[in-house]
Structure 1
Amino acid sequence: MASLKDIAAKCKVSVATVSKALNDQSDIGKETKENIRKAAEEMGYFPNSAARMLKTKRSNNIGILFIDKMHSGLAHEYFSSVLENLKSEAEKRGYDITFISQNIGQQKVSYLEHCRYRNYDGVVIASVDYTDPMVVELVTSDLPVVTIDHVYNGKTAILSDNVKAVEDLVNYIYQRGHRKIAFIHGEDTSVTQKRLASFYKTCMNLGIKVPKEYVKTSYYHDPKTTGKLTRELLECGDPPTCIMFPDDFSFIGGMNVIDEKGLRIPEDISVAGFDGILLSQVLKPKLTTVKQDSESIGREAAAKLIDWIENPKTSLATQVLIQGKLLEGKTVKMIETN
């Protein structure tokens, strides 16, 4: 790999001039800078990371705190898409991403200690227990932090518009003639709270009464539990005509139970999911769902964090709301209304 000395020899300038040109200092002429940068590119020069860190005080490394309760990891299609787009945007701007854990070799450490050990410039937090004391310790430290789908005071958050997404979905189901709508939601998170509030408010505005037994608590990405709850809904005294599931993957549990009972979708029971993952669009019939814009969420998280890292004096905490899109699918039957 070429060094500054190699580039200096080729361009017949001093090493100091090469260093200044590559760091875009103003006392080097434009033509000289262009010649030096061209030579550096041709020779495959990359700055030494240790030297760069001494100069910029940055490691150009971002930590990702991602803990999926169902232990699906990067098999979780929605979050894997968010993280892949986050990675792509970070790399475009010269940053690497690595995952935060509680282990350094055999030694147990806190999330913040791990960040200090790895010299992370900043952190993106997604899908964790946001009340965990170790998470709170990390958020309240001096490290730049961006959260996904959760808001802390003084921190930037990238948020799916869950309120409007559920409103759009319930309105669509209502327009298809349904008045008995059940909702199996995920565990108690800020996302669930927004979705649940939006569900009740939209139903109220439409004049739909929601029996207590129509609202069930499950977990995200957990087909086993949603299967059990689907059975309860189908076997209650006055079953719903449409069931909303917490996410597209969890719907698989409900689909299996519906099939076991000899029922057909949407002829006998209508269903809707959430997330818009690839699976939802290859099922037959195609699942009615809300597609979250995972690409924009990931890219915005990286961009906002890097802006904060590189311009701390001018950055302000903000909430970025990302809109989803209703995918009509074929799983909500049109029924006659009185």
Structure 2
Amino acid sequence: MVSLKTIAEKCGVSTATVSKALNDQKDISEETKSRIRTVAEQLGYFPNAAARSLKTNHSYNLGVLFEEEAGSGLQHEYFSGVLNGLKVQAEKQGYDITFINTCFENRKMSYLEHCKYRNFEGVAIVCADFNDAGVMELMNSEVPVVTIDYLHHNCTAVSSNNIQGMEDLVRYIYSQGHRRIAYIHGQQNGSAVTKDRLTSFYRTMDELKLEVPDEYIRTADYLETREAAKQTKELLNLENPPTCIIYPDDTALIGGRNVIIEMGLRIPKDISVAGYDGTRMSQLLHPKLTTIKQDTEEIGREAAKRLIGSIEKPKTTLIERVVIEGILIPGQSVGKIPEQK
């Protein structure tokens, strides 16, 4: 690694002069500054991060809290897109990202303690149990925090427009002639995503003057294929079954799809289905899924922008809810049927 001493020897000046030149101090001539900077660039010099931090009082390091319970980890398509967008934008603005954990040298520490230990300037909570005491402590702290898909009074939140997305999905299904529409939604515990989608579902159905029987509304955790399969079977065995079923996400839909096939039914001839998220896999299935594609990369980029903005300009920062629009993908899994009475 190239040091200030190496540059000083190459230029025939002191290390103090090199330091002043690289930090653009006024008591060094422009000619000397230019010569030293040119040599530093030729030698591939990078300032020491610790020294830079001491001088600027900035670590340029962001923490990322990602505790995903479904077992997909970084392979989870939605979160991997968000994380990639966050990483690209953070690096573009000169910041590094580091994942937060609660264990260091076999000693347990809270999320907040780890943030202080690592000198994180801010944190993006991409996925976590928001009812966890450690997560709540972090959100309520003085550390700037941006959350993904979760509303908290002390944090800016970035999320997909789940209200508009669900409305677009229901109205499209309605336009295909469906009047008996069931919805298997995700878990409700503290989930702003589920609340927004479910409320939008009921509101849109009401605007379309469609009845929603209680037995048409079911619960299955996000990405949970087994529970989605169970709820699908119960819906199809109703005396008056739905003609279309909306699922929590494209992955959970696969559980329902398997049951439909096992029962000897065809999609969309006998029963229509729709998902959410717009994963690549959803467009590889046959028939291609009708779904809402979320712009995960933009969600991540916007989260990074907002977080860095709150770090660099705290006096002008407001706590906001930032909404990123999704796109309806019609697919072929919702068939057109005669109007239902």
TM-score, normalization: structure 2? 0.93
Using a 3 Å threshold, how does the CA distance of structure 1 residues 331 and 38 change in structure 2: closer, same or farther?
Answer: farther
Using a 3 Å threshold, how does the CA distance of structure 1 residues 27 and 193 change in structure 2: closer, same or farther?
Answer: farther
Q: Distance in 1 between matches of 2:159 and 2:29?
A: 45
Please name the residue that 1:55 is paired with: 55
Q: Distance in 2 between matches of 1:328 and 1:34?
A: 59
Using a 3 Å threshold, how does the CA distance of structure 1 residues 33 and 269 change in structure 2: closer, same or farther?
Answer: farther
Unaligned ranges ≥5, structure 2: none
1:185-264 equivalent positions in 2, closer than 5 A:
185-188=185-188, 189-264=191-266
Q: Aligned-pair distance for 1:56?
A: 2.0
Helix, strand or coil at the partner of 2:273: strand
Using a 3 Å threshold, how does the CA distance of structure 1 residues 37 and 294 change in structure 2: closer, same or farther?
Answer: farther
Q: Aligned-pair distance for 1:87?
A: 1.2
The CA RMSD over aligned residues, in Å, is 1.8
Q: Aligned-pair distance for 1:12?
A: 4.9
Helix, strand or coil at the partner of 2:183: strand
Q: What amino acid maps onto 2:126 in structure 1?
A: A
Q: Aligned-pair distance for 1:90?
A: 1.4
Please name the residue that 2:121 is paired with: 121
Q: Distance in 1 between matches of 2:152 and 2:34?
A: 45
Q: What amino acid maps onto 2:86 in structure 1?
A: L
Q: Aligned-pair distance for 1:151?
A: 1.8
Please name the residue that 1:76 is paired with: 76
* Identical amino acids, percent of aligned pairs: 57
Q: Distance in 2 between matches of 1:144 and 1:326?
A: 34
Q: Distance in 1 between matches of 2:170 and 2:28?
A: 62
Say which is worse superposed, 9-18 or 239-248, in terms of deviation. 9-18
Q: Aligned-pair distance for 1:154?
A: 3.3
Q: Distance in 1 between matches of 2:236 and 2:44?
A: 65
Please name the residue that 1:151 is paired with: 151
Q: Distance in 1 between matches of 2:275 and 2:34?
A: 54
Counterpart check, 1:95 vs 2:84: no
Q: Distance in 1 between matches of 2:224 and 2:26?
A: 58
Q: Distance in 2 between matches of 1:27 and 1:284?
A: 71
Using a 3 Å threshold, how does the CA distance of structure 1 residues 58 and 262 change in structure 2: closer, same or farther?
Answer: same
Q: Distance in 1 between matches of 2:10 and 2:320?
A: 47
Counterpart check, 1:320 vs 2:322: yes
Q: Aligned-pair distance for 1:109?
A: 1.8
Helix, strand or coil at the partner of 1:213: helix
Please name the residue that 2:180 is paired with: 180
Equivalent of residue 274 in structure 2, options 264, 272, 279: 272
Counterpart check, 1:111 vs 2:111: yes
8 Å contact from structure 2 (residues 139, 154) kept in 1:
no
Q: Aligned-pair distance for 1:21?
A: 4.2
Using a 3 Å threshold, how does the CA distance of structure 1 residues 24 and 305 change in structure 2: closer, same or farther?
Answer: farther
Using a 3 Å threshold, how does the CA distance of structure 1 residues 122 and 265 change in structure 2: closer, same or farther?
Answer: same
Helix, strand or coil at the partner of 2:316: coil
Helix, strand or coil at the partner of 1:271: strand
Using a 3 Å threshold, how does the CA distance of structure 1 residues 150 and 27 change in structure 2: closer, same or farther?
Answer: farther
Q: Aligned-pair distance for 1:101?
A: 1.9
Using a 3 Å threshold, how does the CA distance of structure 1 residues 10 and 225 change in structure 2: closer, same or farther?
Answer: same
Q: Distance in 1 between matches of 2:332 and 2:30?
A: 61
Q: Distance in 1 between matches of 2:26 and 2:242?
A: 70
Question: Residues 280-319 of structure 1: CA distance to partner in whole angstroms, max 9, x if unpaired?
Answer: 1111111110000001001111121122222223322222
Using a 3 Å threshold, how does the CA distance of structure 1 residues 2 and 259 change in structure 2: closer, same or farther?
Answer: same
Unaligned ranges ≥5, structure 1: none
Q: Distance in 2 between matches of 1:276 and 1:23?
A: 48
Helix, strand or coil at the partner of 1:313: helix
